[in-house]
Amino acid sequence: MARERKVLREFVEALEANNWLEIRRLAVRYNYEMAELFEWVEYAGAHVYAKGTEPYRSAEWKALVQVMESLGSEYLAEAITARHRKESRA
């Protein structure tokens, strides 16, 4: 579990910084195949969205969200709900 949190944190930080080279480096470091890599990016992307720390002007970020929406990402659905609840309390 501690390893998963570390990996998630690394992917979240890379997405927030819009650092796609770092994401590739993480994939190599952890020896992820494409499906595993996408799942981590999807999971971390949902965390970034829920926190409201996404790189707004990034074409790559927008494309990722569009892919997640098109695929019906459960992670994104939960993130949208969490963000809405957070914003409605503010």
Residue ranges of E strands in 1-90: none
* Rounded Cα distance, 33 and 43, in Å: 15
Is residue 90's pLDDT more than 80? no
Distance set, CA 70 to CA 13, 15, 45, 62, 65 (Å): 24, 19, 15, 12, 9
Backbone angles phi, psi at 18, to 5 degrees: 55, 40
Give the pLDDT confidence score for residue 32 in this predicted structure: 97
Residue ranges covered by each domain of the chain: 2-89
Tens-digit pLDDT profile for residues 33-79? 999 999 999 999 999 999 999 998 999 999 999 999 999 999 999 99
Give the pLDDT confidence score for residue 87 in this predicted structure: 86
Q: Residue range 10-22: average pLDDT?
A: 97
Is residue 28's pLDDT more than 90? yes
* Rounded Cα distance, 27 and 39, in Å: 11
